[in-house]
Every structure is written in C-alpha cells, then in structure tokens.
Amino acid sequence: MTLAAAGGAPPRRFWRVLLAAGVLGALSAAALPPLYGLPVLVVAIPGLLALIGTSTRARDAFWLGCAFGFGHHVFGLYWITDAILIEAADFWWFVPIAVPGLAAILAPFIGIAALVAWFVPAGWRRVLLFAAVWMLGDLVRQFLGGGFPWNPWASVWAFPGVAGEIMLQPIALVGTQGVTGLTLLLAGLPALGRRGWLAGAALLVVWAGFGAVWRARPAGAPPGITAILVQGNVAEGDKWSPERAVTIFRRYLDLTSEGVYRADQGRTVSGHADSGHADLGHGGVGQTLVIWPETASPYPLLDDPEARRAIAIAAGGAPALVGSVRRGRDGRPRNSLIALDGKGDVIGVYDKYHLVPGGEYQPQWLPLPVDIVPGGGFAPGAGPKTLTLPGLVPVAPLICYEAIYPHAIVDEAARPRLLVNITNDAWFGNSSGPRQHLAAARMRAIEEGLPLLRAANTGISAAFDAHGREVARLGLGQTGIKLVAVPGALPPPPFARFGLLVPLLLGFAAIAVVIGVGLARKWEISGHQFKT
C-alpha cells in the first residue's frame, strides 16, 4: 500500500503534511530536559491535533502521529549516538541506525493516540481522548520488549527551582504517566480557542495549588546518616583498561578518605561540613554511608578481599555501597551493587534486573547482523530488593537504567526508607542524556515519597528529598565528593500504594467519559429526529 493510498491524499501534499508533523514532533523535544522549553508544547500539540483534523482517513491520522513521534524521539534521544561513538571503530555502522531505528519503534505509540483521536469530532473530547491514549501508551511502553519509558512528558516540569518542584508534586498522586496525561491535556486545550485557553489556565492554577500544598507536607525525622557520594569522573574509554585499574581504584579510595575526613570534621566543628564541599544539614550526624557509582571498582569485589579491605580502610570503618561486576554460578556477569561493612565483609548484594537492550544484553527482538553484546551480555537479577544494613535505614538500590521505571523500584513486602541510585553516564558525554536520566531519578523520589541519593561516575551526582527537592549536586565532568545529610521519608503517597493502577484507571475513565458523552449526544439526536 502506498502512502497516497493510505492517506487518501495526493503524494506530494501528503509528504508535506507528514513533514510538518515531523517538524512539530522535533519542536516538542525542546520541552524535555535540559531545555525545558514548555511554550513549544502549546504549538506542537495543537498543531498535531489540527493536522489530525484535516485527515480524511484514519490511516492518514496514524501516519501523522507516527511522523510526530519519529521527530520527537530522534531529537529527544540523539544522545544515544554518543555511546556508540565511544566504540566507533567497531560499531560505526550502527550510528545511522540506532537513534532513527529506536525512534521508529517508539513512534507508533503516538501514532495510535492520533488514530484513536481521529474517530471523535474536533473539540474537548478529541483532546481528552488523545491525552488518555498517549498516557496508556506510555504504560505499555514500560513493559513491551523489555520496556523503554524514557523521556515521559511529565519530565518537562523537572526544571530547577521552586516552580518545578511544585509542578512535579502530582506525580505522588497519579504517577509519572498520570502527569504525562495531564501535561498533554494542558498543552492540547489551546486547540479549542479562547475557552480552551481559559480552561488551561484554570487547570494550571489547580495543578500549582495542589503542588504547593503537597510540597508543604512535612517528612519524617532525618535518620541521622551522612552519605558520601563519590564521583570518580573516569572516562569511559579508560574505565576497563587494565593499565589504569590501580590509578582508578586509588582515586576512589583517596576521594573516600577525603569525604570521611570532612564528615568527621563537620561533626566535630559545627555539626555540618564546610559549605564549599558539602550540603550537610542538622540530620548529618551519626552513621556514615559511602556510595560509589555503578561498576566503579575495576576489581570484582566478591572475589577480591584485598580490594574490599582497602575500601573499608578508606571509609574509616563506615559501610559502603559499591558498584562492581560479579559472576554468578552460571559464569555470566552481573551488574551489581555490593554492600560492605566496616571490615570490608560483604553484607549484601543486589544485581541489576532491568538491563539495557542492546547495551547490556542482546535482545532477541533486535534484528542485527552481528552480536553487539558478545556472549549474550549480563544476566539479569531477580528484581527489586531492600538491603538491611547494620546501623542504617533499609535501602532500595537502583542501578543506572532502573531509575526510569515508575513503580518498579521498591520491594513492597519490605518497604525501604532510602533510594540509592548508582549509575555510569560516562557513555553519554556532555549531552542531554545525563540530564534526562537525572530527571527520571528525581521523579522516582516523588512517586515513592522517599529520599534518593545518586552517585554517578562522571556526574551528575545528586540528592533529592522525598518531595524531589534537590539538596546536593556534583556537576557533570567533575571529580569530587558530596556530603549529604540524608533527609527523612514521607508516608507512602497514593501512587506508591496503588502503583500503575492509578494512571491505568485514569486513562480508561477518560475514555469512558468520551464514549459516554458521544453516545448521549447520539441518543439525543436520534430522539429528536424520532419526535420530528
């Protein structure tokens, strides 16, 4: 079937309309982190809805949605190319395939939203239905083919400052997918003209009002833990070099020793560390916790007691959470977090279970002429886990990519009081990738009502409280440490208790409203004609 036949329009005209939809999708990517160009949404979404309204056939609307989605994801995910270029000698051929190919896989989710919206007349019902189906598509996207829920539109509110904090708070109620749906509804209302603008302004006021009230809820008492986030800033090209292993390990040990010294000095002098090197508050006393990033140790810690003892000495007898590769009984590697006590003994192990397709394992659904992950890659772990460490609050570890999955990070049977995200974003250079990844981690803190500590190899290392407020940061490309007084936790918010059921019910409720109003109008018209 040709595009002309599918769209019912002359080929040249249809290509121009498809191009316009693609340009609108690319424009919408400017609203994502780190640009946060929110005004583009009231151009991009009404523009797509207008193009859907000009479509003469349902298939036409679907292709327009796909074109929009393709443009959106190509520009929103361009940073993936940076990872490929690190190994350009072997994978140069993959550069023109990776981002467009992934964008083509994700685009139909938006195409389906456009297709379904086409079946109702232009007006508020089309806007609501479009937002609802897109939101449900994001839910499906979390699970299909291993899942890739990157860049949800809720993240457009993750900009710095109080305003961003306020606008993110509904995530605690309806989750990231729910706020994505609200964002699409808000962006689409201007398509209705003056009344739409007024309705959008009213929704914005209610949204901000709820956010301000929720943000004011007090958290529980801080647990009295001083966390030391260690950022080694090791270039990806050096990370696995045997010649560099000793240098890299010593760098992490030296930074750890410096962090412990500053934490001790801060307690002794004033109860908080020097402001030039730390963000300690009054809760930063008592136990110290050292956190190294994902795969920070160049040595496999489970098999290297000398390396473990060296970490224990550098940590001054404090427990440490360290990223390290380990091998299971099957011989396959695991991307792991190793918990060490003050003597360097292993007191907990967590294996990453949400692996990166094409990066950490070879997915069967990815048809490539060669294996881009030799040997099948990493073996996945069992799932979310809570580590109970002596003298510390229960901890839920997240390794890198796992921080992008709503309601898939906590063992509900043993709820933690602290989220720890270790990651290695060195693959993505100074691009939007590390910033978008950070925004995702921040949203997990709000959803779960738990503080989150993030240690990243090259940055951005940061800490967020249970409301998603940033309390510490060590920027991209910096070598150093950050001391953080771990904030207190909130009681489980509605999304933490009910999970993905919340946005799922919201989506189906919106669809039911659209169908119900449509049927009521149809019966009203039929009844009027019968009387006549």
Nearest 5°: phi and psi at 398?
A: -130, 130
SS3 311: helix
Between CA 401 and CA 150 the distance in angstroms is: 9
**Cα–chain center distance at 13:** 38
Owner of token pair 């090209």:
237
List of E strands, 413-515: 418-423, 452-456, 461-464, 470-474, 480-485
SS3 274: coil
Of 294, 360, 402, 448, which one is the catalytic site residue?
A: 294
Helices 11-28 & 58-76 angle (0-180, nearest 10): 40
Query: Is residue 243 annotated as part of the catalytic site, yes or no?
Result: no
Between CA 376 and CA 230 the distance in angstroms is: 31
Q: Judge whether 288 and 228 are in contact, CB under 8 Å.
A: yes
Of 66, 165, 360, 400, which one is the catalytic site residue?
A: 400
Between CA 258 and CA 490 the distance in angstroms is: 32
Between CA 489 and CA 101 the distance in angstroms is: 41
SS3 288: strand
406 residue type, one letter: P
Q: Pairing relation of β-strands 418-423 and 395-399?
A: parallel
> What are the b/e assignments for 311-330, b being 16+ CB within 10 Å?
bbebbbebbbbbbbbbeeee
Query: Is residue 66 annotated as part of the catalytic site, yes or no?
Result: no
> How many residues does the structure list for the chain?
532
Of 352, 385, 402, 448, which one is the catalytic site residue?
A: 352
Query: Is residue 400 annotated as part of the catalytic site, yes or no?
Result: yes
Catalytic residues: 294, 352, 400
